[in-house]
Amino acid sequence: MIQATVFQADDYGPWTVTPAPRPEMDLQILQSRLYAEIAGFVGDREGYAFYTRGDNVVGITNGIDRDAHERLQASLGNRYPVTVSVGIGAGETPATALSEASSQLRAAGSAQDETRTTICRGETLETETGEVTVGHFDIENATGRLTDRLDAFEAYTTIQQWYGTLARRLYSDHDALAFFVGGDNVVAVCPTLDRAIYHDVIEYVTDQTDVPFRVGVGTGTTAREAGMAAKHGLERGRERDRDVVLVDQPPTPSV
Amino acid sequence: MIQATVFQADDYGPWTVTPAPRPEMDLQILQSRLYAEIAGFVGDREGYAFYTRGDNVVGITNGIDRDAHERLQASLGNRYPVTVSVGIGAGETPATALSEASSQLRAAGSAQDETRTTICRGETLETETGEVTVGHFDIENATGRLTDRLDAFEAYTTIQQWYGTLARRLYSDHDALAFFVGGDNVVAVCPTLDRAIYHDVIEYVTDQTDVPFRVGVGTGTTAREAGMAAKHGLERGRERDRDVVLVDQPPTPSV
Amino acid sequence: MIQATVFQADDYGPWTVTPAPRPEMDLQILQSRLYAEIAGFVGDREGYAFYTRGDNVVGITNGIDRDAHERLQASLGNRYPVTVSVGIGAGETPATALSEASSQLRAAGSAQDETRTTICRGETLETETGEVTVGHFDIENATGRLTDRLDAFEAYTTIQQWYGTLARRLYSDHDALAFFVGGDNVVAVCPTLDRAIYHDVIEYVTDQTDVPFRVGVGTGTTAREAGMAAKHGLERGRERDRDVVLVDQPPTPSV
Amino acid sequence: MIQATVFQADDYGPWTVTPAPRPEMDLQILQSRLYAEIAGFVGDREGYAFYTRGDNVVGITNGIDRDAHERLQASLGNRYPVTVSVGIGAGETPATALSEASSQLRAAGSAQDETRTTICRGETLETETGEVTVGHFDIENATGRLTDRLDAFEAYTTIQQWYGTLARRLYSDHDALAFFVGGDNVVAVCPTLDRAIYHDVIEYVTDQTDVPFRVGVGTGTTAREAGMAAKHGLERGRERDRDVVLVDQPPTPSV
């Protein structure tokens, strides 16, 4: 079972243009800082948070209870000019968990409802029942193939197309949620999937985009545990030149 | 003429897995903070900076001289565990400027060259000769159409597909560089383009993605000046229900 | 029983002048950010952290185990150019706890020992046995008396003299640790003290410095719980014009 | 001539207890971040900013015009839950400049005037006429004498007493403004003073506090230039075992 959280800035769009449009760099800094706060808080509790739209941040929050979510909301409210509402959901797959979290949030009112402020809705999971699988993907020799060869925008759009194709395939066929995390890295939160499925996904996406890549897959009771195992799997795949490495247990403490 | 800068973390990939993979949330926080620093510094000098890949940040830096770039590099070196190299380029269009900036950086060595540290290469533009055009795009009624209706991941991937289609069209046909800046907003740095071209681009992208959107277009001697004008244009388009609004001068001081 | 932690940047002094003196504002920003990280991490776990010397930060860490301390150290090491060592101590009073924490750190090597890196030493307290008392002091009508009347430096030095006199008295006679936390506020971590003692301290310090002030005193199992109660006590003292208000239980949830 | 700025958070005290007292660590993080922003902005323009009371930050702002001050205020207003007002003053000495800056601010209304928001008052200096002298003081062998020998609180209070004695002497007799900047370091912004005066001050303060220390003194058109020269002087004093080293020109570029 997966627990997901949607963090949504309250009435943010209107705020960015009231009383007049605010300078873009101020908004970018605000969004980056707000995300870093959420990532720090969630990460500190073994979860993962992904930037996505900046005003909507997606968390995988197994093991983080409602009280912790509310504490984060209170702390952000004490230090930022905008407040954040929260929807929490649990599900058999990452996609169903996030869908439930999104429903909870929508049920509390529109993202641009002026009266919806610092709402926290939804049910958290019993810690024991949770299990997270993370697939950490990266491109084979991205530096030689892209960074050192193309210009910065071409490399970026090539990676974005690869990411988009990968993310849509994982979502539509496998209920997995994939996020671009910078460089040439994609972190996907997945249900339990056979090794063959990862091979198929890689084959399909490489066919479509002409980008060869690998994946390390790890499982754990939290996103962090699963993600660290996945990273070790990816390293092992690089050393042994294998496309898919599944890791059951993290080989070393994750600090 | 446009001046572009590529900010590239030195030997970052290897650092993230040495001596062992570092926790993903630590890396995400580091990348967000580093970006916020660059955005703050560049923004404070009327430029724009875009996150793109996190370890590669793209700046539109008209009016920012080499000395300022080096000062930013020194300051980051005093406060972060990684250093940043810089390539600067000037060109008739955003695409040619960025291409030149990327060439300068590559000529200094690979992104994973251990001996390439805090390099600054390339020529800046005379301030007087610079002119920047910014198109600020957003989706019509994105809150009602996407945020309040779809789940957070579906809304995100819909926007990413829209952005990807828009960015590729603007780049391949018009030498413009478009960046997703959160929410449902895309900021594109463009050459001088006719109003008809913006209409064509909107028509094409809406056809492909089924997402209706608008643009405000502004011009100025710096990215900030152009970007503020574009934001005012977008507001005007929203009020008057027009798809494309070109603004020559920012209507109010940009602070 | 109190648990205290000393967070000490490793070999920081030499780093600030190697290879040449680093700009002061870069150092000030680095120190502020590092402190904010520690305060965030400790505060999130119901503790308190005080800036003191910037390269030495003092924490009241009841309820925070060794594993958490090590995780903070690892996370800082992933995001800052300097590492941090930690000494933990427990004691009957704040002063004895901090003394033990300092001994632990010193036993691991000098602050300028190049080979002492990311050390964590000392014993933490069983959570159940902990009790923290906080006295929150502020000056009567500081705005009218100081901020709006004196210049910024005079107001500052007046407050610093008041703080110094108060801190030394509380430390030498009562084993309490007092910290200036900005504005006209001093937060002291105290043993259990009679109301009469607070009156005596106020009388003595007001005699010496000619600054009238109040205190709210709270007790709890963590610094945060005690500190929130103390703040409520101070508010009550302000409303009812009383110098010393002792609060046993926080009147409202502390989020 | 010196230009000083007082940055004062608007109506901050009441905000910290409305609707109920806010958690102390949230306030400490907010204050640290706000200070880091001001230090970054001012430092980037060759000025210095000092934390002092957190809600009142003192800047030495030679070369920074009114427009820049207002831009900082706007940017803070876009990213923080509190606004900041500004008083600017020029004077023959640091003390007179700060006094004028404080008067300007007070003339705009009380620090707790709810209607005083984001005010900017006072006259800036013509750049050419400015000259800043900085004395950078530190304690001889502070690590061996204090950090490695006393506990963290004793070391801190010893340094605070030394700092307080030094700051009051410099202010009352020489119109200089001294600030503790962490570790065992004090940065003083001074008028032009003879070498003999520095010797006298050191002798007096060492007599009073039993703490031996040195000073490097530098002069420049900005605080940064003067401060970098002072740091080099201090290094030279350490190498040659001299108490006072005056430096006229910074020996190396200050980046």
pLDDT digits (tens, 9 = 90+) for D145-172: 999 999 999 999 999 999 999 999 999 9
Helix (H) or strand (E) holding B217: strand B213-220
pLDDT grade for C253, boundaries at 50, 70 and 90: very low
Using CB atoms, pick whichever of D39, D150, D255 lies closest to residue C28.
Answer: D39
Cβ–Cβ gap A41/C44 under 8 Å = yes
Residue-by-residue DSSP string for C61-129: -TT--HHHHHHHHHHHHTTSSS-EEEEEEEESSHHHHHHHHHHHHHHT--TT-TT--S-EES-PPPGGG
Return the CA Rg of chain B. 19
Claim: this prediction has a pTM higher than 0.90: yes
Residues 6+ apart with CB under 8 A from D201: D166, D169, D170, D173, D174
Cβ–Cβ gap B23/C80 under 8 Å = no
Using CB atoms, pick whichever of C40, C44, C71 lies closest to residue A255.
Answer: C71
Q: A218 CA to chain C: closest CA distance, Å? A: 21
Rounded distance between C-alpha atoms, residue B75 and residue D255, angstroms: 8
pLDDT at C19 exceeding the cut of 80: yes
Q: Using a CB-CB distance cutoff of 8 angstroms, which residues of chain D are in contact with residue B71?
A: 44, 255
Reported in sequence order, the residue ranges of chain D that DSSP labels E, i.e. its strands, are 2-9, 48-50, 56-60, 84-91, 120-121, 132-139, 177-180, 185-190, 213-220, 244-247
pLDDT grade for D7, boundaries at 50, 70 and 90: very high
State how far Cα C141 lies from the chain centre.
23
pLDDT for A126 equals 83
Task: Single out the residue of B184, A233, B170, D153 nearest to residue C168, CA to CA.
Answer: D153
C-beta of residue B132 within 8 angstroms of C-beta of residue B223: yes
Name residue B198's amino acid.
Y
The mean pLDDT of chain C is 95
Rounded distance between C-alpha atoms, residue D187 and residue D107, angstroms: 29
Residue of B nearest to C30 (CA): B79
Mean pLDDT computed over A174-180: 98
Q: Using a CB-CB distance cutoff of 8 angstroms, which residues of chain C are in contact with residue D161?
A: 164
Read off the pLDDT of residues D61-118 as tens digits, 9 standing for 90 and up.
999 999 999 999 999 999 999 999 999 999 999 999 999 999 999 999 999 998 999 9
Task: Single out the residue of C54, C90, C86 nearest to residue C73, CA to CA.
Answer: C86
C-beta of residue A149 within 8 angstroms of C-beta of residue A184: no
pLDDT for D253 equals 47
pLDDT for B249 equals 59
Cβ–Cβ gap A56/B156 under 8 Å = yes
Read off the pLDDT of residues C79-93 as tens digits, 9 standing for 90 and up.
999 999 999 999 999
C-beta of residue D225 within 8 angstroms of C-beta of residue D250: yes
Q: B126 CA to chain A: closest CA distance, Å? A: 23
pLDDT for C127 equals 72
Q: Using a CB-CB distance cutoff of 8 angstroms, which residues of chain B are in contact with residue D224?
A: none
Neighbours of B243 (CB within 10 A): 16
Residues 6+ apart with CB under 8 A from A4: A58, A59, A60, A61, A88, A89, A90, A91, A94, A97, A98, A100, A101, A177
Rounded distance between C-alpha atoms, residue C135 and residue C168, angstroms: 15
pLDDT grade for A249, boundaries at 50, 70 and 90: low
Residue of A nearest to B48 (CA): A25
Cβ–Cβ gap A23/D79 under 8 Å = no
Which chains reach chain B with 3 or more Cβ–Cβ distances below 8 angstroms? Answer: A, C, D
Q: C162 CA to chain B: closest CA distance, Å? A: 34
Cβ–Cβ gap A30/D81 under 8 Å = no
Task: Single out the residue of C216, C223, C218 nearest to residue C250, CA to CA.
Answer: C218
Tokens of B16: 């993230």
Q: Can you list the domains of chain A with their CATH numbers?
A: 2-129 (3.30.70.1230), 132-247 (3.30.70.270)
Using CB atoms, pick whichever of D22, D27, D78 lies closest to residue A30.
Answer: D78
Read off the pLDDT of residues D20-41 as tens digits, 9 standing for 90 and up.
999 999 999 999 999 999 999 9
pLDDT for D130 equals 83
Q: B172 CA to chain D: closest CA distance, Å? A: 35
Q: C25 CA to chain B: closest CA distance, Å? A: 9
Rounded distance between C-alpha atoms, residue D14 and residue D34, angstroms: 18
Mean pLDDT computed over B79-106: 97
Read off the pLDDT of residues A207-241 as tens digits, 9 standing for 90 and up.
999 999 999 999 999 999 999 999 999 999 999 99
Mean pLDDT computed over C140-168: 96
Read off the pLDDT of residues D188-234 as tens digits, 9 standing for 90 and up.
999 999 999 999 999 999 999 999 999 999 999 999 999 999 999 99
pLDDT grade for C248, boundaries at 50, 70 and 90: confident
DSSP-assigned letter for residue B141: T
pLDDT at A191 exceeding the cut of 80: yes
* CA distances from residue C238 to C232, C244, D13, D27, D196 in whole angstroms, order as listed: 10, 10, 13, 20, 49
Mean pLDDT computed over C208-221: 97
Tokens of B188: 């594109």
pLDDT for A17 equals 95
DSSP-assigned letter for residue A143: I
- Which residue of A37, A38, A44, A252 to mutate against C (max C Cβ within 10 Å)? A44
- Which residue of C37, C44, C45 to mutate against A (max A Cβ within 10 Å)? C44
pLDDT at D251 exceeding the cut of 70: no
Task: Single out the residue of D103, D168, D129 nearest to residue D2, CA to CA.
Answer: D129
Read off the pLDDT of residues C133-145 as tens digits, 9 standing for 90 and up.
999 999 999 999 9
